[in-house]
Every structure is written in structure tokens, then in C-alpha cells.
Amino acid sequence: MTSQNSRNVLGVVRPSGERKRPNPPRHVPPWAWAVPAVLLVFLARYVAAVAGGWYAFTDWNGLTPTANFTGLANFRQIFTDEGARGALLNTVKFAACFVVLTNLVGLFLAVALNQHLKTRYLLRTVFFAPVVMSQLATAFIWRFLFDYSGPVNGVLGALGLESLKKTWLANPTWSFWAVVVVLVWQFSGLAMVILLAGLQGIPQEVEEAAEIDGASSWQRLVRVTLPLLAPALAISIQLSVISGLAIFDTVMALTNGGPLGATETLATQVYKQTFVFGRYGYGTALALLLTILIVAAALIQQLTTRATERRNA
Amino acid sequence: MRRRHSGPLAREVGLWVLALIWSIPFFFLIVVSVKPTAELFSSALQLPSRIDLGSYAGAWQSGHLGSALVSSLVITGGSVLGIVALSSVAAYTLARREGRIAVIMGLLFLIGIVLPSQLGLIPIYSLFKKLHLLGTYTGLILLNVSTWLPLAVFLYTGFLRQLSHEYEEAAQIDGASVWYTFLHVVFPLLRPVTGTVAILSGILIWNDFFNPLVFLSGTGKTPLPVAVYSFVGNYATQWNYVFAAVAIALVPALLFFIFAQRQLIQGFSGGVKG
């Protein structure tokens, strides 16, 4: 032990921010233990993605035995086609609304339900329940709620607001927000649970010390709790960015991308172009674009998180 | 325990108002599912005159929800077992080793979390066809395991990095092998994160619609979401039947969550507090 510690004295500097760890045990697990997982992920995720991604540069229609190499033609078409550009814009808009709103609502719920309320477990269950539902089932329920003769319009009518009644899911402006409402309803509970986990990792003494020093509850939240919650917030945001960009089931079952492409996303377009219209090469090009978008967003987020951690260290 | 927080009654009431608003979709799910068919076209806000469970029986039978439930259990159970077994040993290896190989493997899993699966769909489909895995539980389970392994490894690794090495060292000083140490010392300590991994991947796989649709269609092995979807296709305006099917599919997931919620939150917090 002592001989290993002395290495630090000899100038092995740990990067700042990294937790000081005890010395590794003498027997470490063999690499072979990681082989099944690595192999499976490598083959099913990476090799398959490369094998499939190649078609993005071809005109393959899924039926002919051969595919002609067409270079970047599919990508040129994506950026000139208004429908595809709309889907790209919608994808980014959906993801932005999804990330901001689910995390804000989730943060509010987590902070509120981290207190010792008598019914906090029951309340958590209520807010988390939508997360365990399939997006498909959720969409069916909300299709009923948003139906022209459904409860949403029913309540508006009962309040005397007949003029506000709409065919929510068939309205070019409102269908987008209807989808956002459904997504926020379904997934805020997940952000709540991740942030609750983070809150429970914050020692109570820290907050109590701030309280004794006379900090208001708002000051405690912004100055003490939020900075300590950063790692959990990073995980929650990361997950919501990834799933926000890849929204599929909800849109397909709620609006099928309509009306007039108002809720069309890259993911729904990938599915339609590939499996409905049989434009395999073009669909794959869209999938590749979506992949690049998601990986780039995730990387940017990783880098900013690391930079913030370094600054705070 | 926390005296300063005792009695914030107003806040609790406020949260309950929000919770009731949040429950509105569930309220309609139940109410509409027990509505007699004759009352379906009355006002949506109208409560049913009597509770009619006929739609549940109808959905259960004509939707083949019984066999779909069995399929869902087999697929979810098999996949979760595979994910926990493979990811826990892989994460242990990654967390206890250093150097370039560990970094590269870590990156492989990290990028694997964000890689969308659409790109690889057709190659996997044709490979499964060649290996006669198409339309089999084994094929879909393998696909599910490969899809959720990266996230599971990520969660396990984070937890393991914060886990003290003392227990392992003590076991090894006593002469335990690496495998014995992992199985009898480390894995039991991983219980919270195993719970999180199992619940999270379990829910995601239980609700997965797209992969079973592509890989199990027309085999009689389709799980609940696909069964509900095709059922809804046949009963599009019969909201009571649709909602009965949705409610049946929801019950197991909800029960599972209610029993496991504390575990889920603990595991996310990624640390054993002494």
C-alpha cells in the first residue's frame, strides 16, 4: 500500500475533479469477462449500423439484388426537399421543447417530493405512472382526450368557450403542441425520478448549514441544491436529448406525422420512406442524418458537462 | 426525521391538485373501459350509468391478450436476465481495470447508448433470416440485449466506480478467487443498481412495439403492445374495447413499478451510503 501511494509523491498527478480512489485490488477481473458484451454490442450495433449505413449512398429500393452507388445524391435531395427539411426542423423543435419542459417539470416535482410529505410515495407513483405505459397506449388515450367530441373540447364547451374547441390533432398549429403535451405528461416522471435520486445523494447537513446561515429557500435551491444536483441533471438531460431527437411511437400513433407534415420527424420519415415507400437508400440517408444529429448532440453535452465539472472542481 | 419540514399542508394539497390533473388520462382510461357500448356516443364527460366489464372479456378473448401476456413475460424476462448477466460482469471488468483498452471499451458502450438502431435494422433482419432466428424469442431477446447493454454497462460502471474496494480486497486476502469475489461479494453489493437496470430495461422492453412488430409479426408470439395495436386496428371507434385492452396491458407494468419504485430511485443515485 505505502509503496503504491508513494507513486503520487513522485509526481503522478491526478486530473482535477477525479475522485481519489483506493488502490486497485491485486486480482483484477480478466478481460474475457467483457468479451460477450463487447462482441454483442460491436456486432449488433456498430457492424450492423455500418452495413446498413452504406445504403445511404445508393439508390437501393429494397427489392433489387444490386444497389447503385450514387454518392451524396440522397443527402442533396434531403436538403432540397421541403418535406425532409420540415421533418428536420420539427425534430429539433420537438427535442428542444421536450428537453426543456420535461426537465423543468421533473425538477419541480423532484424538489417538491423530496420533502417529508406524508403522501410523498403515493404522489411519486402518480407522477411516475405514465412512464411505465407504452407510448402507444398513451397515444391511444390522448387521441380520445383530444378527439373533437372528446373531454378536452367537452370541458371547453362546459366552460362556455365553444370558440376554442378544435380538432386538436388535425390542426396544423396545435397538433405540434398536442404532441408536446403528451410527451411532457408521459416523461416528466422519469426526469423526476433521476433528479430525486440526485437529491437524495446531497447530504442534509449541507442544506441545513445554508439554512442556519440565513439563506432563503430560493437561495438554497439555486446556490446550494442545483450545483450539487448537476450530475443527475446531466444524466437526465442527456437521456431526454437522445429520446427527444428519436421520438417515434407517440407521433405515429397520435398524428401519423400529419396534418400536412406538421408533426413529421426524422424518425417517422425514416420509417415511412424505408418501409412504406420502399425508398431504402433515401430512408437510410435520413437515418444516418438522425444518427449524426443524436451523436453530435450527445457529444456536445458530454463536453459541456465535463467543462463545467472542471470549472467547478 | 426532518422536523423543519413537518406540516407543509398547503404544499401537499397543491401537489395533490397537480396529481389529480396528472391522473385525468387514467381516469378516462378506466371510465371509458367500463362504459356500456350503447353509451359510447353520449357526451365524453358523461359517467357510465352502470359498470360494464364486457369490454374486458371481449378484449381479452378476441385480442388474444392471454398468449400475448405470456410472450411479453418470456421476452422481457429473458432479455432482462441477459442484460443483467452480461452487463454486470463487463462493467466490473471495465471499472476495475485501467488503461487504453478500458477507455476504448468504455467509449464503445458510451456511443452505443446514443446510436439509433434504425441503421442496423435491415442487416440484422437478413442475418436473422439466414440463422433461422427470425420469428423466434431467441432472436428478439438477443436484439433487446444488444440494444440495452450499453446503458446498463454505463449505470453499473458509474456505481462500481464509487463502490469501495475494501470488501473485494478483504475477500481476496481471505483467498477468494476473482469469480467467487464477484459472485458472492460484489454482485450482492450491486443490488440497487441491478434493480434500476432491471426495472428500466424491463419497462422499455415490455413497452417496445417496433422490434417485435418487425421480428415477430405473424408468429403467434407477439407481445402485448403489438397485440393491442392490431386489436385497436379492428376496433378503431370502440373506445371501451380499446381502453380495456390498454388497461389490461398496463396492469403488470404498473404493479411491478409500485413494488420497485424505491429501488429504482436508490439505484439512480449511484452510490451506497454507509
Summarize the confidence of residues A246-263 as an average pLDDT.
Answer: 88
Q: What pLDDT score was predicted for residue B187?
A: 93
Which DSSP letter does residue B272 get?
-
Spatial distance between the Cα atoms of A76 and A57, rounded to a whole number of angstroms: 11
DSSP string, chain A: -HHHHHHHHTT-PPPTTPPP-PPPPSSPPPGGGGHHHHHHHIIIIIIHHHHHHGGGGB---SSSS---B-TTHHHHHHHH-HHHHHHHHHHHHHHHHHHHHHHHHHHHHHHHHTS--TTHHHHHHHHHGGGGS-HHHHHHHHHHHHSTTSHHHHHHHHTT-GGG---GGG-TTHHHHHHHHHHHHHHHHHHHHHHHHHHHTS-HHHHHHHHHTT--HHHIIIIIIHHHHHHHHHHHHHHHHHHHHT--HHHHHHTTT-STTTT--HHHHHHIIIIIS--HHHHHHHHHHHHHHHHHHHHHHHHHHHHHHHHH-
Residue A58 has pLDDT above 60, yes or no: yes
Q: What is the pLDDT of residues A178-215, one digit of tens each?
A: 999 999 999 999 899 889 888 887 887 887 888 888 88
Q: What pLDDT score was predicted for residue B71?
A: 95
Question: Which of A51, A126, A147 is closest, CB to CB, to B123?
Answer: A51
Contact criterion met (CB < 8 Å) for B22 and A270: no
Q: What pLDDT score was predicted for residue B236?
A: 67
Summarize the confidence of residues A237-255 as an average pLDDT.
Answer: 89
Nearest CA in chain B to A253: B229
Q: What pLDDT score was predicted for residue B138?
A: 95
Q: What pLDDT score was predicted for residue B39?
A: 77
Q: How far is A4 from chain B (nearest CA, A)?
A: 15
Q: What is the pLDDT of residues A6-56, one digit of tens each?
A: 333 333 444 444 455 555 545 788 898 999 999 999 999 999 999 888 888
Summarize the confidence of residues A142-164 as an average pLDDT.
Answer: 89
Residues across chain B = 274
Q: What pLDDT score was predicted for residue A1?
A: 37
Residue A244 has pLDDT above 60, yes or no: yes
Q: What pLDDT score was predicted for residue B126?
A: 85
Q: What is the pLDDT of residues B146-186, one digit of tens each?
A: 999 999 998 899 888 888 888 888 888 888 888 999 999 99
Put simply, whether B243 touches A (Cβ < 8 Å) is: yes
Put simply, whether A7 touches B (Cβ < 8 Å) is: no
Question: Which of B44, B118, B177 is closest, CB to CB, to A150?
Answer: B44
Residue A84 has pLDDT above 80, yes or no: yes
Contact criterion met (CB < 8 Å) for A125 and B249: no
**ipTM of the complex as predicted:** 0.83
How far is CA B222 from each of CA A138, B26, B146, B242, B245, rounded to the nearest angstrom? 19, 25, 20, 18, 15
Low-confidence stretches of chain B (pLDDT beneath 50): 1-6, 271-274
Cell, residue A306: 465535463
Give the model's confidence band at A279: pLDDT under 50 very low, under 70 low, under 90 confident, else very high: confident
Residues of A in contact with B94 (CB under 8 A): 34
Spatial distance between the Cα atoms of A98 and A183, rounded to a whole number of angstroms: 7
**More confidently predicted of A42 and A162:** A42
Cell, residue B185: 461479494
Give the model's confidence band at A162: pLDDT under 50 very low, under 70 low, under 90 confident, else very high: confident
Q: How far is B31 from chain A (nearest CA, A)?
A: 12
Give the model's confidence band at A165: pLDDT under 50 very low, under 70 low, under 90 confident, else very high: confident
The amino acid sitting at A89 is L
Residues of B in contact with A138 (CB under 8 A): 25
Nearest CA in chain A to B42: A149
Q: What pLDDT score was predicted for residue A16?
A: 45
A 34-53 residues with CB below 8 A of B?
Answer: 34, 36-38, 40-49, 51-53
Residues of B in contact with A149 (CB under 8 A): 41, 43-44
Question: Long-range pairs for A30-36 at CB < 8 Å and ≥24 separation?
Answer: A30/B93, A30/B178, A31/B93, A31/B97, A31/B101, A33/B89, A33/B90, A33/B92, A33/B93, A34/B89, A34/B90, A34/B93, A34/B94, A34/B105, A36/B86, A36/B90
Tell me if A200 sits within 8 A of A181, measured CB to CB.
no
